[in-house]
Amino acid sequence: MAKVELDRLTVQFGDVSAVDGISLVLDQGEFIVLLGPSGCGKTTALRSIAGLQHVTSGEIRFDGKAVTALSPAKRNVAMVFQFVSLYPHLTVRQNVAFPLRAKGVSSHEIAKKIDWIAKVFTIDDILDRYPVGLPPGSRQKAALARAVVRDPDVLLLDEPLSAVDEQYREEMRWELRHLQKKLGITTVHVTHDQREAMSLADRVVLMKAGRIVQVGSPTALFNDPADRFAAFFIGSPGMNFIDLTLAADGLHVAADQTLRVSAPNSVLESARAGGLNQIVLGIRPHMVELTSEEGPDLLPATLLDAAPVGRDLQAQFTLAGQTIRAVLPLEAELRDRRRLRLPPAHCVFFAPDGTRLGER
């Protein structure tokens, strides 16, 4: 259990910076998720922490001590890989015992440790089986048990749940979170699945092109995205983006002056200060409301399509040629309600280049 610091960490492959000078501090026992699209550098960052990846520049510290030059074995890190990395020629028990054997722990001590870890991970019944016949979920549990059994300072997880079936993944997520809290190991988890990130993390580190876009709690990332990329990447279904035109008398939906939209003064001011006449409004589909009232700020829209999804009704509207998705209550009356309300508290605004406008 260590405090982990990344200090201007850079990893280059030839001319390409896979990780481009990221700095980050992980508190003891914290569950951090590195999130981002493929190629964003999250796995490279993880492998750097593990010691499997040579770092071009920058420093990695565990509890204030630089480990950048140490081999993986000397860092006391544990790692679970995306695809199962259990040793196929060993039983689950022998797999879990492997890191202890490698360290020269006595057989008696090993037996005790395995008893303990088997209970924690509920793998008693598969201890004497070979990995090959086991379902992916059980295999990853065994891999986690092997990782954790020797009290690592840092636990590194490289998309460990992506090989697990969808139905089972949900359950594994809860279990993983629960176990991490129980064991209190500082954990770095890499994933491209934003739902996984949101449900697991104490803090999410959103990355893009080797840099950190935003660091924060899942709620903060959801409600207060740092830029358009963060807004787009997090949330399902994804955020609506509506092009607006900034005229002298205020904002309206691009291509239709009658569709007026209000925005906080800070947004208008910073847009005008930047000399912008086009800005983008972002709103999550769950926040879009449907109403039969009439008023300023209520936008008449045309229904394109609607489908019930579980307890929700997912609908698509068009507004002056732009599509808006809305997640409505199942009982919503679509027929006579054709006006959309975009509650100002849930609207965020971006400049055309994606930067956030106004106060955060």
Partner 1 sequence: MAISIPQDETARVKRAPKQVRTLPDSWLCGLFLAPSGLILALMVFYPFFSLIYYSTLQFSMMRPRIEPVDVGLGNYVDLLSDNEIWQRFAFTGKFVLATVLIQFTIGLAVAYAFQRNFKGRDFLFTLALLPMMLCPIVVGFLWRYMFNSEWGVVNWLVSLVGIARIDWLGRSENALWAVAVADAWTWTPFVILLATAAFRGIPKDIKESAEIDGASPMFTFFRVTLPMSLPILMIALLLRLIDAFKQYDLFLAMTGGGPASETQTAAFALGKIAFGYFHTGEASALAIILLIVIMGLSMIFVRYLTRLSNRA
- Rounded to the nearest whole angstrom, what is the least distance from the CB of residue 83 to partner 1 in the complex? 6
Binding residues for partner 1, rule: CB under 8 A, are 50-52, 71-73, 76-79, 81-83, 85, 87-90, 98-99, 101-103, 130, 132, 146, 150
Nearer to partner 1, 83 or 174 (CB): 83
- Rounded to the nearest whole angstrom, what is the least distance from the CB of residue 185 to partner 1 in the complex? 14
- Rounded to the nearest whole angstrom, what is the least distance from the CB of residue 17 to partner 1 in the complex? 23
Nearer to partner 1, 52 or 183 (CB): 52
Nearer to partner 1, 81 or 232 (CB): 81
Nearer to partner 1, 77 or 253 (CB): 77
Nearer to partner 1, 93 or 252 (CB): 93
- Rounded to the nearest whole angstrom, what is the least distance from the CB of residue 50 to partner 1 in the complex? 6
Nearer to partner 1, 76 or 262 (CB): 76
- Rounded to the nearest whole angstrom, what is the least distance from the CB of residue 226 to partner 1 in the complex? 33
- Rounded to the nearest whole angstrom, what is the least distance from the CB of residue 81 to partner 1 in the complex? 5
Kindly report the three-state secondary structure assignment for every residue of the chain: CCCEEEEEEEEEECCEEEEEEEEEEECCCCEEEEECCCCCCHHHHHHHHHCCCCCCEEEEEECCEECCCCCHHHHCEEEECCCCCCCCCCCHHHHHHHHHHHHCCCHHHHHHHHHHHHHHCCCHHHCCCCHHHCCHHHHHHHHHHHHHCCCCCEEEEECCCCCCCHHHHHHHHHHHHHHHHHHCCEEEEEECCHHHHHHHCCEEEEEECCEEEEEECHHHHHHCCCEHHHHHHCCCCCCEEEEEEEECCEEEECCCCCCEECCCHHHHHHHHHCCCCEEEEEECHHHCEEECCCCCCEEECEEEEEEEECCEEEEEEEECCEEEEEEEECCCCCCCCCEEECCHHHCEEECCCCEEECCC
